[in-house]
Chains A and B, each alone.
Chain A
Amino acid sequence: MTRATIPYRLTALVVATLAAALGPAWAEEPPPPPSPSDAQKIEELEQRLKVLERKEELAKEESAAKEKEAAKVSIGKDGFSVRSADGAYQLKVKGYLHVDSRFFDGTPDDATDFTDNLLLRRARIVLEGTLGKYFDYRLMPDFGEGRTVLQDAYVDVKLAPEFRIRAGKYKPPVGLERLQSANDLYFVERALPTNLVPNRDVGIMLHGEVAEGVFGYAVGVFDGAADGANIDTDTNDYKDFAARLSVQPFKKGRLFGLQGLFFAISGTYGSSLGGTVSATGLSAYRTAGQVPFFAYRAGTTVAATTILDGDRTRFSPQAYWNYGRFGVQAEYVESSADVRRGADTARLSNTAWQATAAVMLTDDASSWKGVSPKQPFDLKARQWGAVELVVRRDRLSVDPDAFPVFANPATAAQAASEWGAGVNWYFNRNFRWMLDACRTTFRGGAPDGDRPRELVYLNRFQISW
């Protein structure tokens, strides 16, 4: 007999007892009053019934309280998560997969016909969460391109929204597109300025948001990664200092269309001495097709190799704005470094800029932080998701003083200029298809003048959760 059936049986018993005591309802004579012993029995039965009902009520309350205290497991568009009832402990399992293809325009004997590729650009599992309310963590290995690289591994101590301390390996607070999630990029590959800012570095950073996100700041000390580099350790005693200040001036205001306007300025300062052939502190720069178009001279000895030897600074103003179906972003980066090759020294300043515009063809909001289609793809409902067109212009210029001592003008280009256009089809928040065409022209970089232009078609199937 289940608990729920007990009250019903007892109710039936009470009713039967009452019926027996009071007589048939259709009797002409009024029923005699119940005897004292009958009344007592009825009262006892009523009490038992009430006790059972109350016990059931308490059991339900207890069950509800336990449910409230129990850990919550959820799975949805933001991945899989487990959290304690008070939210002090959380584990989120996320991930993303970028399946790309790169097709270069050119004939097989053409110098610009680089190898066409189908590749796993990124295959990342993200474990993140909270331990003891104040301590967030994130671990993100990447298995893309046949390698295993630990991209992120850090702890974030969040004393208050205005005051957080992050320690470990992560993106230093420099650049604009570099700090955008790879899942939210307008193009398959980031624009040329990202070549001049570090990718991942190990360090300690104080950061936070003030006035509910109107202002943001980050300032930290890092090992000091070269332009575009992803490092796990340092090779010298010198450290880099990185900082970024941001403002969304109209975030809380009502000025027409300006809530999504964002400005930031960021930079780094550091030094390095004693570079080696294998640790020069300098990097090559790549096109959208991920083909190197500039590299410093490298030799078998330190004297024949260009190395970082002194100060390195970076400076980067940046902005983006999203309004309705439209979005734009722009950034400028200047990376200056003292370099040495043998007895020759120089301070070289390389610069880059980019401007990107996006428009949603569907009635969806453009966003720097990813698009969520209002009508996710559903064949039965004849919904197609969201479609976006993007276009960009970007350029990277190498300091002319780099040539010919520190870089070989016959193989390293002095400048790269790119036009890009593309379409993004967001099936839902988790899956999108991207197709880009990027055309890059160069100044210098070939024995006989300019390196031939590069035209690459980039395609991506992206899933993230």
Chain B
Amino acid sequence: MPMLRSLLRPAAALAAAAALAVPALAAGRTMLNVSYDPTRELYQDVNSVFARQWKEKTGEDLEIRQSHGGSGKQARSVIDGLEADVVTLALAFDVDAIARAGQIAKDWQKRLPDNSAPYTSTMVFLVRKGNPKKLRDWNDLARPGVTVITPNPKTSGAARWNYLAAWGWALRQPGGSEASAKELLRGIFKNVPILDTGARASTVTFVERGIGDVLLAWENEALLVVKDLKPGEYEIVVPSVSILAEPTVAVVDKVVAKRRTRELAETYLRFLYTPEGQEIAARHYYRPRQAEVAAKYASVFPKVTLISIDEVFGGWDKANAAHFADGGTFDQIFGVGR
């Protein structure tokens, strides 16, 4: 009892000091969006518009930081402690990896419309003006003498989409089988001289360093090069079949709980689904989900037959286990191909 009495006064003082100190922690608003490689320009625009809207709505100044790199590598960084309030990654599998690490709720894909993929894209071929090697479809990439630029499927979301698009194409050919698909990919990767870690690095390799005959690229990245960066120097070749790429977004629950930024992060991601957010996506050559915006930009995007991950590969978990996990088909092919 004497101890209790003796502690009462200090405890009250500690509580008072804590009450004074805690409000000071709430000052300042920042947010980190950890994204994949080619979305730099997209999110610069999104962030600028959203921060302005947030200021009008709440009166708070908001600084949104961006981090970009290969999607798989970015997911690894978040798992290892990079404090992202939101992730906007190239594929659901990478967000799932963060969820498996306990930082995002398992049901994250149901929280936002369209499986938390506010825009889509696909994979196309970017070739030099005049398409000197006459590359038309996936089988052309395996021809001897063709140099193909694509990033590393171990670290890059784009590379995985490329790989699976080629695999899916091979399966759809007459007599197509797992064996013929594997043979096609082996042929393609024999023609890959450099494996960059991310899509933007591969664009640099192809466009800035002048290496290769074809870049397997995100459609948005290819359109950016053809229309904005190097008009007249490159062409886009749309293969007969490509893949429906669905970059996904999610709030990182553990981080927003700790930083008290859940409302901000959720509002930010919902903004991507608004007409304004969809317009920004379309302007950066991402295919918008909203019908009105999609109709407005229909002429920008070439028509292409798209296969989906679920339909051909039974979902990302199965696709990853079969192709990109250690010992998967990519390891078998690339090891032999080298």
Contact = CB atoms under 8 A, between A and B. Distances in A.
Interface of A: 47, 50-51, 53-55, 57-58, 86, 88, 159-160, 162-163, 206, 208, 210, 217, 219-221, 237-239, 241, 243, 269-271, 273
Contacts of A219: 10, 13-14, 17
B209 A241 contact: no
16 contacts: A47-B147, A50-B211, A162-B21, A163-B18, A163-B24, A163-B25, A206-B14, A219-B13, A237-B3, A237-B6, A238-B2, A239-B10, A241-B6, A241-B9, A270-B6, A271-B6
Given A219-B10, A241-B9, A51 B211 contact: yes
Contacts of B18: 163, 206
Contacts of A217: 17
A271 B13 CA distance: 17
Interface string B1-34: 0110011011101100110011011000000000
Contacts of A88: 81
Given A162-B21, A219-B14, A54 B81 contact: no
A243 B196 CA distance: 58
Contact of B13 (A57, A208, A243, A270): A243
A53 B208 CA distance: 12
Contact of A239 (B3, B17, B212): B3
A58 B200 CA distance: 13
Contacts of A220: 10, 14
A315 B247 CA distance: 64
Nearest to B196: A58
Interface in B175-209: 193-194, 196, 201, 205, 209
B210 interface: yes
Given A206-B14, A238-B6, A160 B81 contact: no
Contacts of B10: 219-221, 239, 241
A86 B81 contact: yes
B28 to A, nearest CB: 11
The 8 closest A-B pairs by CB, nearest first: A241-B10, A237-B3, A163-B21, A221-B10, A162-B24, A51-B193, A162-B21, A239-B6
Size category of the binding interface on chain B: 20 to 34
Given A163-B25, A219-B14, A273-B2, 10 more contacts: A54-B194, A54-B209, A55-B194, A88-B81, A160-B24, A162-B21, A163-B18, A163-B21, A206-B17, A271-B2
A58 B194 CA distance: 9
Contacts of B209: 50, 53-54, 57
A53 B24 CA distance: 52
A239 B9 CA distance: 11
A268 to B, nearest CB: 10
B17 A51 contact: no
Given A53-B209, A55-B194, A58-B194, A239 B7 contact: yes
Contact of B21 (A50, A54, A208, A241): A208
A160 B22 CA distance: 9
Contacts of B196: 58
B25 A159 contact: yes
B65 to A, nearest CB: 15
B2 to A, nearest CB: 5
A239 B3 CA distance: 7
Contacts of A206: 14, 17-18, 21
A132 to B, nearest CB: 9
Contact of B210 (A50, A159, A160, A163): A50
B230 to A, nearest CB: 17
A42 to B, nearest CB: 14
A55 B11 CA distance: 63
Contacts of B17: 206, 217, 219
A433 to B, nearest CB: 42
Nearest to B208: A54
A160 B26 CA distance: 10
Contacts of B22: 163
A37 to B, nearest CB: 13
Contacts of A57: 209
Q: A162, A220, A270: which has the most chain B beta carbons within 10 Å? A: A162
Interface in B158-184: none
